[in-house]
A and B are shown apart, each in its own frame.
Chain A
Amino acid sequence: MTKIFVDGKAYEVKADQSLLQACLSLGLNLPYFCWHPALGSVGACRQCAVKQFRDEKDTRGRLVMSCMTPAADGTRISIEDAEAAAFRKGIIEGLMLNHPHDCPVCDEGGECHLQDMTVMTGHDYRRTRFPKRTFHNQYLGPLINHEMNRCIQCYRCVRYYREYAGGHDFDAFSSRSQVYFGRYQDGVLENEFAGNLVEICPTGVFTDKTLKRHYTRKWDLQFGPSVCVHCGLGCNISAGERYGTLRRIVNRYNGEVNGYFLCDRGRFGYEFVNSAERLKQPLQRQDGKLQPISKARALEALAGLLADPKKVIGIGSPRASLEANYALRALVGADRFYTGLSASAARLTAVALEMLRRGPARTPSLGEIERADAVLILGEDVTNVAPRMALALRQSVRQQPMRKADQLKIPRWLDHPVRELAQDQKGPLYIATPAATRLDDVATETYRAAPDKIARLGYAVAHALDAGAPDVAGLSEAERSLAARIAEALKSAERPLVVSGPSLNSEAILQAAANVARALSAAGRAPSLSLTAPECNTLGVTMIGGGSLADAFQAVKSGSADTVIILENDLYRRASARAVDEFFSSARHIVLLDSVTTPTVQKAELVLPAATFAESDGTLVSSEGRAQRFFEVYPPVGEIQSSWRWLRDIMMAAGRREAAAWQDLDAVVASVSDGIPALAAVAQAAPSASFRLAGAKIPREPHRYSGRTAMLANINVSEPKPPEDSDSSLAFSMEGVFAQPPASLIPFFWSPGWNSIQSVNKFQEEIAGPLRGGDPGVRLLEPSAAEPRAYFTPASEPTSGSAGEWLLVPLYHIFGSEELSRLAPGIAELSPQPYVALNPEDANALGVQEETSVTLSLESVSRTLPVKLMPGLARGLAGLPAGILPIEGSGLPAWSRISRA
């Protein structure tokens, strides 16, 4: 801690930060533009000027940039000083010379940092009389809008896009008043994290194009604190609604998870909630066709189906909440509940869970991943599977080079010198995958091979770290020495990290990753092991426990069950069409609860419309093992309701009185935490519904929310009572107290004078630190202190196909591989068409070119697909897009012949 004086008052602040950061941490208002907590200081905009005094006797002082000046012990500054204030006002005046003053038609208006800073500095009158320069705007793809005239040249966008996110197709062009930020030519921004430009840019240059199509000002949106459902990482999001449709997603800061950033799948995938594919009414199959029926009739029909409860099984879902899964389990009984994971996913998740429970490696948060200083990735294309983690890994490679700055006593937040010093140096990051990945540009070395060989490399690394770990035979000289280099890099790091996961359906890869972690621990290191999870609650449903989908199929096949209740799950994504068809034709009754129309809907006899994340509450367990609560953004319309409510109603209809206790979310959460020991802590994920903030509920709407009395006047002129929310301490209202709620209950960030998302400054214990009271979520997984398990033993030989066969491997796509986000038009537009990828040399040998149609066979079904040449793909492999062809659960990798169609 150091002591600084601001306007004559003494404050204790943390050392190692800039004055700007220190002042903002103290809650003082000091305007800034070019500084960003995740990007550091460059001193470009001159907006953060303060007066600095030598000592108490110095009355003249001098202007300094607070973002460039360390908060050294004894520093005396003044923010209020007249000269400093006039300087800041002048800077804004200069920045605004060419600004179009078009706030009323600007999507940023009402949540614009430029507006906020302009008001803060008191610049309220335009004196220049000269013409303004104008620019052409670019088409940047379906997700982001460009309006360059609003630019104030802070350079944040280009620093974020190129230096932080590693993008190449974006830059600053020209000079002086002509500086232009964009692409060389119109075109889709290639970086998977481009959407963060919307929040990084302090003005309305980059805005959310999906919001534009159903635009609503921030102050008119109703928000819910929510959790992203589009991968297993559990990034925190703030989702906004108006008139019963979801309008947009912005980042909800969580210091340990997503920090300041989301991926584009998470930010723009939300439109599935508004899609035409939504199920809105109960449906019943009559004469072969699904017909709408009333809720009462649906429940009546269900009560009939459940007459013989022993014949009923439930299939849960990795994309449904703990509460929904648990309610289904309660309905059918623990031994008749199946997790809904494919057999292989179930096995791999169970293996992963056991590894993380037994230790010795600990599962790191995303924040910890960012701070790792040597990383080995085994088998995962992180950018396309767990996107936000890739952005964290990209920062991790800066850890080692930054030590050089530490030695020279250059503070890490002084961005330019630190980057200049590091130049192109990167800390160790080794990537072993079948194909090229989007992190290769920062990798120390990459290794391209089939899944089995990737596992073998991992085993060899473990053996190189600890001779007690089993070795593998038959590695090439090059592979051996690569393993030795990886081992050396991990061993000499302070915070080594191994990243792996189930993407390649390989238990051997997971075991190899566990061996590396175990060997690191034997070598005296404290390793982290991060295992990706494919869906938002894969870990959660696995912790509830139950058989896999294959077991469920078996239960029906064997005749022990004939009625199936399926929860938020499209079985066609998890098993081969043949197996699913067979299952459906042998089951007598299929009941489905889901929010969107899927192929499974076509097989159901009864369909109940389930709420999406936006219209429901619940808890998800991320791949870190963090349980996080998401809250309703707006009440579901019509017959839609949360799955757990449907399941409760079904139980009640079937005379199961115990379900009567489930009147609100807390009651279900309590049942989950009592019923499943591993989930005992889930109640702590967020305060209960009885929590009150200064005696009142927390408003979901900004206090300027307009039109409440009139917005439903077309239906009824008397203003209806706002809907009650019995499930949480949030209210569907703007009424309440302005005070900081507990971190997990912050619907949106706003603070007086800080209308933009940068108001998050006011909610943190310190800038870029945890939210006050601790970041949201509760960790459920910590390695046990017990003796770590023995090393896994590798198979003696890698598997091989017969002559002329290719190993088909899944290739993942951030846009396209995930089920729900694909229904968002912007994401759909960016999703690839089905293909089979081949290394160009392999293609050559086969005599095929790009786009040539070839035929391959998968589970004895033959498919014809166009060839896509993929230079980074390992020889002998053929890549198929995961989740795009209906092959997800069918057990890739698989061997097949490939021939010209």
Chain B
Amino acid sequence: MLSPEERHEIEEELERYPTKRAVSIDALRIVQRRRGWVSDEALRDVAELLEVSVDEMDSVATFYNLIFRKPVGRHVIMVCDSVSCWIMGYDRIREHLTKRLGIQLGETTPDGRFTLLPIVCLGTCDHAPAMMVDQHLHRDLSPEKIDGILAEYP
């Protein structure tokens, strides 16, 4: 069940678009902001509210890599694997992260603190390699810098 707040926020969005279906992405983001991810149940609820089939809603949800259809940790690390970062040492960054966190790309640490995901170019190639943790961009990465950064996210 969507919470009254979620429902209210989505309904507010509805006023800004010509069709209900157009609110799909916003609605999914609203849910994700509050819950961290979009469960099957939440997906069905949103689909019902927007009067589209679950299939169509999931088509939207799975298309966007920033809509999470599986639970994620408290913090989501998105490490850029596009070309500039790759040239500038993405491999080392990934190796360091996976070793330090003890997980592979796409996984969440057992304590639920971090989820590690790859992402395409973050638009900061001049400061490659780069990664994002939650909403924050971290640039000119080196393995040494990373430990300090991780410490900022309890």
- A residues neighboring B (CB under 8 Å): 168-175, 180, 183-185, 423-424
Q: Which of A171, A175, A423 contacts B58 (CB 8 A)?
A: A171
Cβ of B50 to closest chain A Cβ, rounded Å: 13
- Starting from the known contacts A171-B59, A184-B54, 6 additional A-B residue pairs (CB-CB under 8 Å) come to A168-B53, A169-B53, A170-B55, A171-B55, A175-B63, A423-B19
In the complex, chain B residues 35-66 whose Cβ is within 8 Å of any chain A Cβ? 52-56, 58-59, 62-65
Inter-chain contact B59/A173, CB cutoff 8 Å: yes
Chain A residues in 8 Å Cβ range of B53? 168-169, 171, 184
Bound together, the chains give a CA A175 to CA B61 distance in angstroms of 10
26 contacts between A and B (CB under 8 A): A168-B52, A168-B53, A168-B55, A168-B56, A169-B53, A170-B55, A171-B53, A171-B55, A171-B56, A171-B58, A172-B59, A173-B59, A173-B62, A174-B62, A175-B62, A175-B63, A175-B64, A175-B65, A180-B62, A183-B55, A184-B53, A184-B54, A184-B55, A184-B58, A423-B19, A424-B19
Bound together, the chains give a CA A79 to CA B119 distance in angstroms of 40
What is the interface size of chain B, counting residues whose CB is below 8 A from a CB of the partner?
12
Bound together, the chains give a CA A175 to CA B52 distance in angstroms of 20
Inter-chain contact A173/B19, CB cutoff 8 Å: no
In the complex, chain B residues 75-116 whose Cβ is within 8 Å of any chain A Cβ? none
Chain A residues in 8 Å Cβ range of B62? 173-175, 180
Cβ of B40 to closest chain A Cβ, rounded Å: 8
Chain B's closest residue to A181 (CB) is B59
Cβ of B73 to closest chain A Cβ, rounded Å: 22
Chain B's closest residue to A176 (CB) is B65
Q: How many A-B residue pairs have CB under 8 A?
A: 32
Q: Which of A170, A173, A175, A180 has the most CB of B within 10 A?
A: A173
Chain B's closest residue to A168 (CB) is B53
Chain A residues in 8 Å Cβ range of B55? 168-171, 183-184
Inter-chain contact B54/A174, CB cutoff 8 Å: no
Bound together, the chains give a CA A173 to CA B52 distance in angstroms of 15
Cβ of A897 to closest chain B Cβ, rounded Å: 38
Bound together, the chains give a CA A183 to CA B55 distance in angstroms of 6
Chain A residues in 8 Å Cβ range of B65? 175
Chain B residues in 8 Å Cβ range of A423? 19
Cβ of B81 to closest chain A Cβ, rounded Å: 13
Inter-chain contact B56/A173, CB cutoff 8 Å: no
Inter-chain contact A174/B56, CB cutoff 8 Å: no
Q: Which of B54, B55, B59, B64 has the most CB of A within 10 A?
A: B55
Bound together, the chains give a CA A168 to CA B54 distance in angstroms of 9
Cβ of A169 to closest chain B Cβ, rounded Å: 5
Given the known A-B contacts A183-B55, A184-B54, A184-B58, are A174 and B19 also in contact in the complex, defined by CB atoms under 8 Å? no
Bound together, the chains give a CA A536 to CA B63 distance in angstroms of 46
Chain A residues in 8 Å Cβ range of B59? 171-173
Bound together, the chains give a CA A423 to CA B64 distance in angstroms of 23
Bound together, the chains give a CA A174 to CA B67 distance in angstroms of 11
Chain B's closest residue to A178 (CB) is B62
Chain B's closest residue to A173 (CB) is B62
Bound together, the chains give a CA A649 to CA B63 distance in angstroms of 67
List 4 tightest A-B contacts by C-beta distance, closest first.
A171-B59, A168-B53, A184-B55, A174-B62
Bound together, the chains give a CA A170 to CA B55 distance in angstroms of 6
Cβ of A165 to closest chain B Cβ, rounded Å: 14
In the complex, chain B residues 16-41 whose Cβ is within 8 Å of any chain A Cβ? 19
Chain A's closest residue to B120 (CB) is A176
Cβ of A139 to closest chain B Cβ, rounded Å: 15
Bound together, the chains give a CA A170 to CA B64 distance in angstroms of 18
Chain A's closest residue to B64 (CB) is A175
Bound together, the chains give a CA A180 to CA B65 distance in angstroms of 15
Chain B residues in 8 Å Cβ range of A172? 59
Chain B residues in 8 Å Cβ range of A169? 53, 55
